[in-house]
A and B are shown apart, each in its own frame.
Chain A
Amino acid sequence: MASPMMNVNKENKPKPYNNAKATLALAKASFIAMIRSPSAVVFSLLFPLIFILVFGFVGGSGIKVDIGLSHESDTSNFMYQALKSVSILKIHQDQSKLDMEKDLIKGRLDAIIDLKNPGLGRPLAMKVRYTKASLSQGSVLRSIITSILFRMTKAQGDPLKDVIDIQESSVEGRAYKTIDFILPGQLGFSLLSTGVFGTAFIFLSLRKTLVIKRFFATPVKRYSIILGEAISRIVFALIGALIIILIGHFIFGFTLIKGFITVLNMMILSTLGIIVFMGFGFVVSGIAKNESSVPPLANIITLPQFLLAGTFFSISAFPKWLQYVSNVLPLTYLNDAMRRVAFEGAGLWDVSHSIFILLAWGIGVYALAVKVFKWE
C-alpha cells in the first residue's frame, strides 16, 4: 500500500525555504484572528466612530478666539488694552503679514485687527477683518468688541463715532467644522489603541498559550513572526482608518481638501503612526507579566495622549505648562499632521517637522522594545 502519509502533500520537491511565504501565512492567519476578535474591532473602529458621532453633534468645546494684530498697529490705545484683557481672546503678533493672511483664510486665525491712532482729537481707526472659515468665532469677537464699546461709551459719555471708527470686512475661507477637528484626533487615537493594545496582547498571549513555541518548532524565522503580525496589524489599522475617513467624509462632511491625494497622504501618515505605536505595544508585551497587567500599562501610554494630544480639545486651549507636556507626545504630532493634511491640503513635506518627531519617537521606542522584548 502506498503510504497514506506520503500522499498528503501535493508536491514533494525539495525547494529552498521561502521566508516570505511563511510571513504571509502568519499575516493572513493573524488578520483572520483579529477581525474575529471583538475587542480589536471595538477599539479601532467602533469607539472612534462613537466619539465622532457624539462630538460631531455636540459641537465645539472651550471657546477661544485667535486674533492677528497687524504689524502697523498702535498698541497704546484703549481698545488694544481692552482686547488684551479678555481671557478668551488670544492675540498673535509675531507672524509675518503673509502668514497671517493665510491663517485667516484657513480659519486658524478668526480675525485680523488693525488699529491706527491718527492723532489727538480724531477717532481711533479700527479695521476688523473676519473670515468665513470661522463664522462662529467671528461673531463671538464681534459681540466682545460691541460690549467693550458699550461699556466705554457708558463710562465716558462721548458719542461713539468721535472715539472710534470701525470698519468691518470678511474674507472668504473654508468653514472649519467640528468634524474636521474631531476626526483626525479619533483617527490618531484609533491607530494608537490598535497599535499599543493589539500588539501588546497578541505577543503576550502567543507567549502564554505557547503558540509561539509551536511556531519555533517550525523552520520559520523569528523576524517573520514579528513581521507577519505587524503586516496584519498595519493592514487592519489602515482598513479601519479608511472606513473612519470615508464615513466621516460622506456622513459628517469631513473636509478632504484635495480629495484622493489627501486620503492617500492620510493613509501614509496612518502607516507611520501605527508603526510607531506598535513599538509601544512591543514594549508593553515585554514588560507585562501576564494578560491582566497589559491594560494598566497600555493605558499609561494611551490615556494621557488621548486627553493631552489634541484628540478632543485643541492644545492651544491648555495652560502653557500643560502645552509643554502635549508638545512632547507623539500623538500630538500625528494629529497635527493629519489635520493640516486633511483641512489645509498640506503635503507630506509641509508636515515634515511632525513626521520627523514621529520618526524620532519610533527610533527611541523600537530601541527600547529590542531591549525589553521577550520571546518566552
Chain B
Amino acid sequence: MIQVENLTKKYGDYLAVDQISFTVFESEIFGLLGPNGAGKTTTLEIIETLRTKTSGNVVIDGYSLDTDPDEIKKIIGVQLQAAGYSPNLSLTQIIELFSGLYNVDVDAHQLLDKVALRDKARARFKDLSGGQKQRFSIATTLIHQPKIVFLDEPTTGLDPQARRNLWDLIFEIRNSGTTVVLTTHYMDEAEILCDRVAFINQGKIISIDTPNNFIDGLVSKGFQRPKPIKAASLEDVFIHLTGKEWKE
C-alpha cells in the first residue's frame, strides 16, 4: 500500500529523516515508534504530501508522491498532531466543509456516531474537551472513505476510557479494509493495536517487525522484567472501577 525508499529530509545540515525505507501492507495497522524528535512526524507529513522531501521515493497505492500528490490526497485521511478547525463552526458545519473539500456527500450524524459525538453536533469545535477534539479530528479523516488513514499520536492526552474506546475505533477502521499508519509513545498501545511496528531513532529506522516477534526476540536473549508481570494492569483496575464508556 505504501512503499518508502531511502526517504531523506534535511533541514540545513540537520538530518531529520535519514535514508528511511519501509513498506506498509494493505489493511494493516502499522506503527511508527520512537522518542520525541526521532523523525516520526516529519516522515508522516512527507508521506501526507504536507512537507517536501530532500530525496527518496514514496509510492502510495500506485501513485508516486512526486507526480501525483493530488491523487494521493484523495485516498488518504490525515489526523495531524496539532491541527485546528475553525473555532466558530459547529461540528456539523466543519464536516460539511470537509465534505466539500473532498467532494463527497456525507451524513454528519452517522459520522459523529462513530466517535460518540452525536450529541455535540451543534457544539463549536473550540468548546470541545481535549479528547473530544481528538476524536473529532479522527472523524474528519474518515469523511471521504480513505484507503489509508494516518494518525499522529491519536491517544496522547486522553483518559483510559477514551484511549481504549479509540483503540476500538481504530480496529473498526482497519476491519473495514482501511490501512492505518499511526505514531504513539505508548508501547502497550502499539503492542495491542499494531500488526507491525518500525522503531525510529535519530531519523533512522532501526528495526521493523511484529510486536510479538520483537518481544519474543528480546526474551530469547535472556531479558527479564525486574518485576514479574501480573494478570491485570493498574489501567485495567481503573477501567474496572470507573466504567468503559466515554467519559466526556
Contacts and interface: CB of A to CB of B under 8 A. Distances in A.
Interface of A: 3-12, 15, 17-18, 21-22, 24-26, 28-30, 32-33, 36-37, 209-211, 213-220
A217 B150 CA distance: 11
Contact of B172 (A5, A15, A211): A5
Contact of A214 (B49, B85, B104): B85
Given A6-B176, A214-B83, A36 B78 contact: no
A183 B98 CA distance: 40
Interface in B29-85: 48-50, 70, 73-74, 76, 78, 80, 82-85
Give the 3 A-B residue pairs with the shortest CB-CB distance, closest first: A25-B100, A209-B84, A5-B176
Contacts of A6: 145, 176
B197 interface: no
B130 interface: no
A215 B145 contact: no
Interface residues of B, number: 45
B119 to A, nearest CB: 19
B172 A4 contact: yes
B103 A28 contact: no
Given A37-B88, A211-B83, A214-B78, A5 B145 contact: yes
A25 B145 contact: no
Contacts of A7: 110
A18 B103 contact: yes
Interface in B93-130: 93-94, 96-107, 110-111, 114
Contacts, number: 114
Nearest to B78: A217
B134 to A, nearest CB: 14
B106 A9 contact: yes
A21 B102 CA distance: 9
Contact of A26 (B100, B145, B175): B100
A3 B49 CA distance: 28
Given A4-B176, A5-B142, A8-B111, A210 B82 contact: yes
B184 interface: no
B143 interface: yes
Contact of A28 (B97, B144, B178): B97
A216 B50 contact: yes
B217 interface: no
A11 B105 contact: yes
B114 A4 contact: yes
Q: A21, A210, A214, A220: which has the most chain B beta carbons within 10 Å?
A: A214
B6 interface: no
Contacts of A29: 86, 89, 93-94, 96-97, 100
B177 interface: yes
25 contacts: A4-B172, A5-B145, A5-B173, A6-B145, A7-B110, A8-B106, A8-B143, A8-B145, A9-B144, A10-B105, A10-B106, A17-B103, A22-B101, A25-B96, A25-B101, A29-B93, A29-B96, A29-B97, A209-B87, A210-B80, A211-B84, A217-B80, A218-B98, A218-B102, A219-B101
Q: A3, A209, A211, A217: which has the most chain B beta carbons within 10 Å?
A: A217
A7 B78 CA distance: 20
